[in-house]
């Protein structure tokens, strides 16, 4: 067995690490906020605005990095800042349940926006401004979504701002903020003070008599209020706090995306009458703490370190980026197609449009709580800066550059023997990179020592499918069995029911003894156009090809069907628990229109093939025992009835001198060979230079095989074994009935043994069965697959059958009431189950392309 007892499970991220020594941006300047976490940031051409835990908004000169002014007024932490460039306003929201509007020219306060229910709205976590609608949207702690529209502009007179021209809602509500209703929780003192709540209490931080109370009361006293009306509120917009939001839109169309602690992102059409719910994206990865958007794509930063990438047009999950598992993503910013993620461990990472990590650096000594991207100056070519704020009291200013066009592929590292190692982390694409990680997990299902490796392979594959855009889960298959991985790539929303195709595969592999291997079986290595490693062709390579095909169609907004992946972990040792689990979770899997399999190879090297038939199998164990222990042949030989002689005689009754199986009626229902088949075998004979009769014997004729004979005792030449076991299998073909064959075999063995008149005992145990399968060549699904192969390879595929068995294929056909299709991707020399298992890079890539073509065809 290959050495893997101390095997390290690979990191689940499919994002390649493309950093270089100079990839991290230059730190331009640090700004220090005295003893206060930086909770929010905004910037314009002149200033950087930072909202802090200490209730103030610091205004920093963008060019000299000096503190210009401090904006006073809030009595709670400043949770969000939003710059409205068209109005030259700054909106700030706070834990004091107010939104304040400031002039970014004079830095004077304009007025206070009070949410509906006032302090009942709780902390105001998020803000978003729509210049098209002239509307500010507010996300609230009480789960409501509120908004206010500014119908008339505020007139300016010199450096002062007049409130007289504000809409009537302002002038009619010009009540000093100091007279607002007191909230018994948000305006309370510490319990030991035994004081009634008042608006200056702020939980004892700034109360009456405190050194700061006067400056806050002065700032509060003169500001007129605007009250959000009840009609501008959507109660329970989410089932959790509304932590983040972003406005999307071009022209007259405006949409709002909101993220919440209920693990969802909601999309709203924004009209003059208010937001109208459109769609809900479910993240299932913890609270959504950050949102950014680019074009028709939304990025949602989640509590457990995942970024969900959603497409607005098709309403689908395109990809999941694993930034760092278990580390909350607090803030995100975008510069063209580059995404910057800010995490609770102080790190900032940059991600390219292809979801690769192009930079990562330790930005803060604590949590990165806020970020924004701004130009260095007013000129269009002035460059950009990323500004980050943390709970370490610092604001950091970083020089960042927009992404440049990158090469579509990465040169693989090579040694002097022209061998490249995909596992080095520099893979040419997602497919080979993901396959290198998948193969590195020694998921050997028949070896108890690798039981945990099998479980980890299932967990890794689930996370991989999630990153590629699927919804994925693990399905338990019973005590001691490896779980099924269920992943669903959902196609674009359509008015009518979408076609649903199920792809079946298996993530388990057989053992890989090192004898005969020229490289580590569990490290993918490339030589002369082939990838070598256990499982690359059976069956991990085809699984990744199918998953990446679906992911690519998703990214191109071209996936119009639902593709369901059902990947088991027990195929190499009998598919234990598979059928029961599928039946139990059939509603979760859903209705299926066709089944796709890719678990075999071509008949030759150069001609693509489609498999349309498999033989069935019956595996059984025969055991003959005596009532005696193992005996010495020199002492007891000739005096006892030996189980070994009985076994030899019994096995000899199974076939005649012409290798014909002697079970009564065994050949009665074998389907006659048609003229069309004869012509096909003749064609295959010309292609392979093998006799046509060999294909007939291997594919369409039943057979019997004796596999092993085992004995009890020390296995030396002087022992009469007391127990002898033999393993026997039958391969069955259309139209033999599986249950009838099993019964005939057992009956025949018992009758033959009785004729021996032996004093020994026979036990027959049928351990495993699988039915035969024959595809429909005239089925439109088969025609679509055949056409896809021909278009991709430029030649008509050969129609072939297999002598082996895949138990799950006929079972799935019967369970879901639809036809199965079998697309082999590997070549005949791929060495599946043997040393130096391999798959051609060309076959792998073209196999993926065939799947894409097939999906597009069946969707049409």
pLDDT of residue 651: 97
CB-based contacts of 490: which residues, under 8 Å, 6+ apart? 316, 317, 470, 471, 559, 562
> What's the CA gap between 676 and 38, in Å, rounded?
77
Element (H, E) at 754: helix 738-754
* Phi and psi at residue 258, to the nearest 5°: -125, 140
Place of tokens 């979801």: 355
Q: From the candidates 82, 311, 508, 677, give the one annotated as an active-site residue.
A: 508
Mean pLDDT confidence for 152-173 = 40
Whole-number Å distance between alpha carbons of 82 and 104: 11
For residue 620, which of 722, 725, 701 has the smallest C-alpha distance? Answer: 725
Contacts 24+ apart (CB under 8 A), 651-654: 651/622, 651/706, 651/726, 651/728, 653/748, 653/752, 654/704, 654/706, 654/728
Q: DSSP 3-state assignment of 687?
A: helix
Residue 188 has pLDDT above 90, yes or no: no
In what order do the strands lie in the sheet containing 109-114? Answer: 78-84, 89-94, 99-103, 109-114, 225-227
Of the candidates 801, 728, 733, the residue with the CA atom closest to the CA atom of residue 768: 728
Please give the Cα distance from 702 to 618 (Å, whole number). 11
How many other C-beta atoms can be found within 10 angstroms of the C-beta atom of residue 114? 22
Q: What does the pLDDT average to over 155-182?
A: 41
Question: Are the CB atoms for 820 and 812 separated by under 8 Å?
Answer: yes
Domains, the chain = 40-142+145-234 (2.40.128.630), 419-614+773-859 (3.40.630.10), 616-667+702-770 (3.30.70.360)
Predicted local confidence at residue 183, as pLDDT: 59
Is the backbone of residue 726 left (phi > 0), alpha (psi -120 to 50) or beta? Answer: beta
Catalytic choice (123, 338, 393, 571): 571
The larger pLDDT score, comparing residue 34 to residue 159, is at 34
Report pLDDT for 191: 64
Q: How far is CA 829 from CA 175, 234, 523, 532, 534, in A?
A: 85, 64, 20, 12, 14
Inter-residue contact 349 to 322 (CB < 8 Å) = no
Average pLDDT over residues 34-40: 89
| Confidence at 493, pLDDT banded by 50, 70, 90 | confident
The residue whose two tokens read 């669903």 is 488
Average pLDDT over residues 581-606: 95
Three-point CA angle 145, 75, 238, nearest 5°: 15
- Give the model's pLDDT for residue 113: 95
Q: Which H or E run contains 105?
A: none
Q: Is the pTM for the entire model greater than 0.85?
A: no
Question: Does the structure show a pLDDT above 50 at 553?
Answer: yes
* Alpha helix segments (H runs only) across 244-390: none
Name the E strands within 150-215: 156-157, 160-161
Q: What is the DSSP pairing of strand 394-400 with strand 384-390?
A: antiparallel
* Cβ atoms of residues 452 and 460 within 8 Å: no
Distance in Å from the first CA to the final CA of the chain: 48
How far apart CA 765 and CA 399 sit, in angstroms, is 72
- Residue tagged 């499918």 (tokens): 465
pLDDT tens-digit map of 687-696? 889 999 999 9
Give the tokens for residue 723.
């127990």
For residue 192, the model assigns a pLDDT of 65
In the predicted model, is pLDDT for residue 152 greater than 70? no
CB 650 within 8 Å of CB 656: no
Judge residue 318's burial from the number of C-beta atoms within 10 Å of its C-beta, 0-12 exposed, 13-18 middle, 19 or more buried.
buried
Residues 732 and 618: their CA atoms lie apart, in Å, by: 8
Report pLDDT for 184: 58
Phi, psi values for residue 709, rounded to 5° = -130, 125
Quick one: pLDDT band at residue 6, thresholds 50, 70, 90? low
Which residue reads 């450096």 in tokens? 159
Q: Hey, how many other C-beta atoms are within 10 angstroms of the C-beta on 490?
A: 21
Could you confirm whether 508 is annotated as catalytic?
A: yes
Q: How many CB atoms lie within 10 A of CB 172?
A: 11
Does the annotation mark 676 as catalytic? no
What is the 8-class DSSP label of residue 414? B
**Contacts (Cβ under 8 Å, ≥6 apart) of 231:** 274
Residue 18: pLDDT band (50, 70, 90) is confident
Decide if pLDDT at 131 tops 80.
yes
| Run of H or E residues at 362 | strand 357-362
User: What pLDDT score was predicted for residue 219?
Assistant: 52
DSSP state of 222: T
Using only C-alpha atoms, the chain has a radius of gyration, in whole angstroms, of 35
| Residue 489 pLDDT exceeds 50 | yes
Would the pLDDT of 178 be above 80?
no
Euclidean distance between CA atoms 304 and 20, whole angstroms: 27
Strand order in the sheet with 26-32: 26-32, 394-400, 384-390, 368-375
pLDDT band, very low/low/confident/very high, at 199 (cuts 50, 70, 90): low
Lookup: tokens for 338 = 């580059």
pLDDT over 80 at 213, yes or no: no
Q: Is the pLDDT of residue 180 over 60?
A: no
Q: What is the pLDDT of residues 388-439, one digit of tens each?
A: 999 999 999 999 999 875 433 333 333 333 333 443 333 348 999 999 999 9
Q: Enumerate the β-bridge partners of residue 456.
A: none
Maximum distance among all alpha carbons in the chain? 124
Average of per-residue pLDDT values in the chain: 88
Identify the top-confidence range among 153-157, 660-664, 807-811. 660-664
3-state secondary structure of 314: coil
CA distance 610 to 648: 41
Q: What is the pLDDT of residue 381?
A: 74
pLDDT over 70, % of the chain = 88
* For residues 463-468, average pLDDT: 95
Q: How far is CA 755 from the centre of its chain?
A: 61
Q: Is the distance from CB of 189 to CB of 201 less than 8 angstroms?
A: yes
Say if residues 50 and 77 touch (Cβ distance below 8 Å). Answer: no
pLDDT at 164 over 90: no
């Amino acid at each position: 067995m290959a050495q893997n007892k101390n095997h390290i499970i690979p990191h689940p991220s499919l994002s390649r690490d493309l950093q270089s020594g100079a990839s991290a941006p230059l730190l331009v300047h640090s700004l220090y906020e005295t003893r206060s976490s930086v909770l929010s940031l905004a910037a314009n051409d002149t200033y950087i605005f930072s909202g802090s835990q200490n209730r103030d908004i610091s205004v920093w000169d963008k060019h000299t990095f000096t503190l210009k002014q401090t904006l006073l007024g809030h009595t709670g932490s400043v949770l969000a800042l939003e710059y409205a460039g068209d109005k030259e306003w700054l909106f700030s929201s706070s834990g004091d349940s107010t939104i304040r509007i400031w002039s970014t020219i004079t830095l004077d306060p304009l007025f206070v926006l009070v949410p509906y229910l006032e302090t009942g709205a709780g902390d105001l976590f998020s803000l978003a401004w729509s210049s098209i609608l002239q509307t500010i949207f507010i996300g609230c702690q009480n789960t409501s979504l509120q908004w206010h529209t500014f119908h008339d502009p505020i007139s300016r007179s010199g450096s002062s701002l007049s409130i007289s021209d504000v809409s009537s809602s302002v002038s009619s509500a010009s009540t000093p903020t100091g007279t607002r209703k007191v909230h018994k929780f948000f305006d309370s003192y510490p319990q030991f003070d035994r004081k009634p709540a008042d608006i200056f209490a702020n939980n004892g931080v700034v109360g009456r008599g405190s050194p700061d109370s006067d400056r806050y009361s002065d700032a509060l006293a003169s500001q007129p209020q605007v009250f959000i009306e009840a009609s501008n509120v959507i109660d329970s917009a989410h089932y959790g706090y509304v932590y983040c939001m972003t406005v999307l839109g071009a022209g007259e169309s405006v949409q709002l995306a909101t993220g919440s602690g209920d693990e969802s992102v909601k999309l709203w059409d924004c009209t003059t009458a208010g937001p109208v719910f459109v769609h809900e994206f479910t993240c299932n990865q913890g609270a959504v703490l950050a949102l950014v958007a680019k074009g028709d794509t939304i990025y949602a930063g989640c509590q457990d370190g995942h970024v969900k990438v959603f497409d607005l047009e098709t309403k689908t999950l395109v990809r999941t980026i694993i930034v760092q598992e278990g580390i909350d993503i607090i803030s995100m910013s975008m510069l063209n197609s580059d995404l910057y993620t800010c995490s609770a461990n102080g790190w900032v990472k940059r991600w390219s449009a292809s979801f690769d990590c192009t930079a990562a650096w330790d930005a803060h000594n604590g949590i990165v709580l806020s970020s924004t991207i701004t130009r260095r100056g007013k000129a269009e070519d002035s460059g950009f800066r990323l500004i980050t704020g943390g709970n370490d009291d610092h604001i950091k200013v970083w020089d960042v550059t927009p992404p440049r066009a990158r090469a579509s592929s990465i040169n693989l590292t090579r040694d002097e023997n022209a061998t490249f190692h995909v596992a080095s982390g520099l893979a040419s694409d997602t497919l080979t990179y993901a396959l290198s990680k998948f193969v590195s997990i020694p998921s050997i299902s028949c070896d108890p020592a690798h039981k945990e490796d099998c479980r980890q392979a299932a967990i890794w594959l689930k996370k991989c499918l999630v990153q590629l855009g699927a919804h994925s889960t693990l399905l338990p298959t019973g005590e001691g069995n490896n779980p099924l991985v269920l992943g669903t790539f959902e196609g674009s929303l359509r008015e009518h029911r979408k076609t649903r195709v199920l792809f079946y595969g298996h993530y388990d592999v057989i053992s890989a003894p090192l004898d005969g291997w020229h490289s580590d079986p569990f490290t993918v290595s490339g030589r002369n156009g082939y990838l070598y490693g256990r499982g690359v062709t059976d069956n991990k390579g085809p699984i990744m090809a199918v998953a990446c095909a679906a992911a690519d169609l998703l990214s191109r907004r071209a996936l119009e069907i639902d593709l369901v992946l059902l990947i088991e972990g027990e195929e190499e040792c009998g598919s234990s628990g598979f059928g029961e689990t599928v039946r139990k979770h059939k509603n979760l899997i859903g209705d299926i229109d066709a089944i796709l399999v890719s678990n075999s190879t071509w008949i030759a090297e150069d001609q693509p093939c489609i498999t349309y038939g498999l033989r069935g199998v019956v595996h059984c164990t025969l055991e003959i025992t005596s009532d005696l222990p193992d005996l010495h042949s020199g002492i007891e030989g000739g005096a006892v009835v030996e189980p070994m002689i009985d076994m030899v005689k019994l096995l000899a009754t199974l076939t005649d001198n012409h290798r014909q199986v002697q079970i009564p009626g065994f050949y009665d229902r074998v389907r006659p060979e048609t003229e069309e088949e004869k012509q096909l075998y003749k064609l295959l004979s010309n292609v392979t230079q093998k006799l046509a009769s060999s294909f007939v014997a291997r594919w369409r004729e039943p057979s019997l095989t004796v596999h092993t004979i085992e004995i009890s005792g020390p296995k030396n030449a002087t022992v009469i074994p007391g127990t002898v076991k033999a393993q026997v299998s039958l391969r069955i073909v259309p139209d033999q009935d599986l249950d009838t064959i099993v019964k005939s075999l057992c009956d025949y063995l018992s009758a033959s043994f009785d004729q021996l008149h032996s004093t020994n005992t026979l036990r027959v145990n049928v351990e495993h069965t699988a039915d035969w399968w024959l595809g429909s060549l005239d089925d439109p699904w088969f025609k679509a697959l055949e056409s896809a192969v021909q278009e991709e390879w430029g030649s008509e595929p050969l129609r072939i059958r297999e002598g082996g068995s895949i138990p799950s294929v006929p079972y799935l056909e019967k369970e879901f009431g639809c036809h199965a299709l079998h697309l082999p991707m590997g070549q005949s020399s791929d060495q599946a189950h043997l040393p130096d298992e391999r798959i051609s890079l060309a076959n792998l890539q073209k196999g993926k392309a065939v799947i894409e073509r097939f999906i597009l065809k069946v969707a049409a």
